Chain A
Amino acid sequence: MDEITEGTSQVDCDILVIGGGTAGPMAAYRAKKKNPNAKVILLEKANVKRSGAISMGMDGLNNAVIPGHSTPEQYVKEITVANDGIVDQAAVYKYAQNCYEIIQELDGFGIRFQKDENGDFDVKKVHHIGTYVLPMPNGDTVKKALYRQLKRARLLISNRYMATRLLTGKDGRIAGAIAVNTRTAEFLVVRAKAVILCMGAAGRLGLPTSGYLFGTYENAANSGDGYAMAYHAGAGLANLECFQINPLIKDYNGPACAYVAGPFGGYTANNEGMRFIECDYWSGQMMQEFYNELQSGKGPVFLKLNHLADETIGEIETILHEVERPTRGRFQVNRNNDYRNGMIEMHISEIGFCSGHSASGVYVDDNACTTVPGLYAAGDMASVPHNYMLGAFTNGAVAGEHAIDYVNEVDFADIDEDFIAAEKERVLAPTKREDGIPPNQVEYKTRRLVNDYLQPPKVTRKMQLAQDRFAETRAVMENEMVARNAHELMRSLEVSSILDCADMAAFASLFRTESRWGLYHNRADYPERDNENWFCHSILSKDAAGQMTIKKKDVDPYIIPIDEEEKDAYDKQRIKAQA
């Protein structure tokens, strides 16, 4: 079982999609639909049937731009303001214009959205300005419906292969990827004219307060492999210092779902049962307010439903306990919690990278192109901010449709056999040792250090200390880590991604010497926002010498102007938000 087997096979394709969660299946499906003769491979570390952030479905769309309820222009404004202005609007605008068509397509797949008694989408108002929330009370069927479409399209699906590095040609173009089987350790080399990365968030970066390595907010399989691979291929990564941190049910580490309970009248409260959040849209500012309350005498923070009618609570329970994270109900039973009798304790999550909820991602333009020719990225790992599940579907479609045209114009880039040989040696190194440090211990230590030194409020000296500790841990990882079978080998490769992400998190956070995005980049020794010097993206990458480097990049001129009054209106909402 899980024995290491030597072996390599090689396949060629037009497009290689890596990651079978949300964006990946849609990218592969749309590419194949646009050109049925193309060879499209969907590679997945787990099994596409139930992989990714939406393994057990999703309880609603948080950012649905549906005619009659909100407009693309309004949405772009809202996201621009929520992300403190650091937004290239073209990609957000394209998302907002395309997402309704995607909702309709998903509806046709049999994915069920809440409808009113006339069969129209039952969009709920949660935010102050726009109306974007579309519940999915039967959202547990998402992956099943998606997988059905992939099978019907006869896509080439390669499960249980973990991509470890991208291949690039001498001309810098993408050439494919190398992957290793997670059950046998056999290698698969894929030559491809275009590669689309859809590998999810870096969710296993911080350590949950429970100490359980896999008790993360994100699907724990999302270990940041895409961020690490894009980095090593020379792609730029945007605003990594804008961490993801989310409000959660304490200990359970599943979302508490303001978006589910909100439309029913539930809300986040302090120990007095009072609302305290000023900020409207889910953002770093909101998380700062959450954090402040948590640390104050009015803490901790709770989910309050007990003012609602019994019938209403019953409806909320059905959703919270059956969709997205259904073990939530079991957790509440263990704790003797009943939403009717009291409030449910909440906390904040560990840190991670995720543009789905914040803005830290591999830099992409409005066609989902990264800075490496032929390399695309979509979903939680691509830099389009506040994208959520619908953004992954929509931008996955954008990537697939752009890539399928791109591959008509190019041939395969050369692949470097020496690089492949060296990568195989790197991957298998932990299997060649008799004893040493197992991957779970290297991972625990790395993530414990992330919590100790990188969790906001961020402090310069602490982050520098983190860099020293990470370097020591890296030396252990490279020289002493041991994997006894193919499964442990997968974990050891994930550790490598986690450590890469930890290094990038520290490096990017040190670069931006101001505070921005509320809690996400709250620097205790640079507490003020500095628009004069820092109204820009940060783009981190690997330079020609193999060293980490970072630079500023201008924010593209706005397509949808934000007038001063709108900025002011937002600033007024944050009166009490300072730490």
Chain B
Amino acid sequence: MPLAEQPSSVPVVVDEGKCIADKGCTVCVDVCPLDVLRISDATGKAFMKYDECWYCMPCEADCPTGAVTVNIPFLLR
């Protein structure tokens, strides 16, 4: 059976104006226990690639520039 792509609203939001991933920072990607964040090849900024969030917050807490916000996933909000 072929696969479909379904939309999903992801809880982690990155402020690209503040993110310094393009300077070599990988803190949020490193600290995520579910490994769901990546650095975009297109923008050089961090983003949430997989909607598999435990909303635990190290990405937000450890971000040096305050660029990351963790929201509560919609399904349990």
B is bound to A: yes
* Chain A residues at the B interface, C-beta cutoff of 8 Å: 1-2, 46-47, 49-52, 55-56, 140, 160, 182-183, 208, 210-216, 219-221, 251-253, 325-327, 330-331, 334, 435-438, 482, 487, 490-491
Selected contact of A1 from candidates B38, B72, B76, CB within 8 Å: B38
Evaluate contact between A212 and B76: CB separation under 8 angstroms: yes
A511 to B54, CA, bound (A): 34
* Additional A-B contact list (11), CB under 8 Å, known A212-B75, A214-B52, A490-B35: A47-B31, A55-B33, A56-B61, A182-B35, A215-B55, A215-B76, A220-B34, A327-B72, A436-B1, A438-B3, A487-B49
Chain A contacts for B53, CB-based, 8 A: 214
Q: How far is the CB of A226 from chain B (nearest CB, A)?
A: 15
Q: 30 A-B residue contacts at CB 8 Å?
A: A1-B38, A1-B41, A1-B49, A46-B33, A46-B34, A46-B35, A47-B32, A49-B31, A56-B56, A56-B61, A160-B35, A183-B35, A212-B76, A213-B52, A214-B73, A215-B55, A215-B76, A220-B33, A220-B54, A221-B34, A253-B76, A325-B56, A326-B57, A327-B55, A327-B70, A330-B70, A330-B71, A331-B72, A331-B77, A436-B1
**Interface status of B30 (Cβ within 8 A of chain A):** yes
Q: How far is the CB of B59 from chain A (nearest CB, A)?
A: 9
Chain A contacts for B72, CB-based, 8 A: 252, 327, 330-331, 334
Q: Beta-carbon contacts of B44-71 to A below 8 Å, as 1s and 0s?
A: 0000011011111110011000000011
How many residues belonging to B are interface residues under a CB distance threshold of 8 Å? 29
In the complex, which of the residues B1, B3, B33 has the most CB atoms of chain A within 10 Å of its own CB atom?
B33
Instruction: Using known A-B contacts A326-B57, A435-B1, determine if residue A49 contacts B30 with beta carbons closer than 8 Å.
Output: yes
Give the 8 A-B residue pairs with the shortest CB-CB distance, closest first. Answer: A210-B76, A50-B31, A50-B58, A212-B75, A327-B55, A46-B33, A221-B33, A251-B76
Chain B contacts for A334, CB-based, 8 A: 72, 77
Evaluate contact between A487 and B58: CB separation under 8 angstroms: no
Chain B contacts for A1, CB-based, 8 A: 38, 41, 49
In the complex, which of the residues A2, A183, A214, A482 has the most CB atoms of chain B within 10 Å of its own CB atom?
A214
For A222, give the chain B residue with the smallest CB separation: B33
A325 to B61, CA, bound (A): 12
For B59, give the chain A residue with the smallest CB separation: A50
Chief secondary structure at chain A's binding surface: loop
Chain B contacts for A252, CB-based, 8 A: 72, 76
Evaluate contact between B57 and A216: CB separation under 8 angstroms: no
Evaluate contact between B57 and A327: CB separation under 8 angstroms: yes
Q: How far is the CB of A92 from chain B (nearest CB, A)?
A: 29
For A203, give the chain B residue with the smallest CB separation: B54
Instruction: Using known A-B contacts A50-B31, A160-B35, determine if residue A56 contacts B73 with beta carbons closer than 8 Å.
Output: no
Chain B contacts for A215, CB-based, 8 A: 54-55, 73, 75-76
Selected contact of A52 from candidates B1, B33, B50, B75, CB within 8 Å: B33
Q: How far is the CB of A407 from chain B (nearest CB, A)?
A: 30
For B52, give the chain A residue with the smallest CB separation: A214
**Interface status of B17 (Cβ within 8 A of chain A):** no
Q: How far is the CB of A333 from chain B (nearest CB, A)?
A: 9
A192 to B70, CA, bound (A): 40
A183 to B34, CA, bound (A): 12
In the complex, which of the residues A50, A215, A438 has the most CB atoms of chain B within 10 Å of its own CB atom?
A50
Evaluate contact between A50 and B52: CB separation under 8 angstroms: no
In the complex, which of the residues A182, A251, A330, A438 has the most CB atoms of chain B within 10 Å of its own CB atom?
A330
Q: How far is the CB of B77 from chain A (nearest CB, A)?
A: 5
**Interface status of B7 (Cβ within 8 A of chain A):** no
Q: How far is the CB of B52 from chain A (nearest CB, A)?
A: 5
**Interface status of B2 (Cβ within 8 A of chain A):** yes
Evaluate contact between B56 and A219: CB separation under 8 angstroms: yes
Chain B contacts for A331, CB-based, 8 A: 72, 76-77
Chain A contacts for B52, CB-based, 8 A: 213-214, 220, 491
Chain B contacts for A55, CB-based, 8 A: 33, 54, 56, 58
Q: How far is the CB of A32 from chain B (nearest CB, A)?
A: 23
Chain B contacts for A210, CB-based, 8 A: 75-76
A437 to B3, CA, bound (A): 8
A393 to B18, CA, bound (A): 37
Q: How far is the CB of B75 from chain A (nearest CB, A)?
A: 4
For B36, give the chain A residue with the smallest CB separation: A487
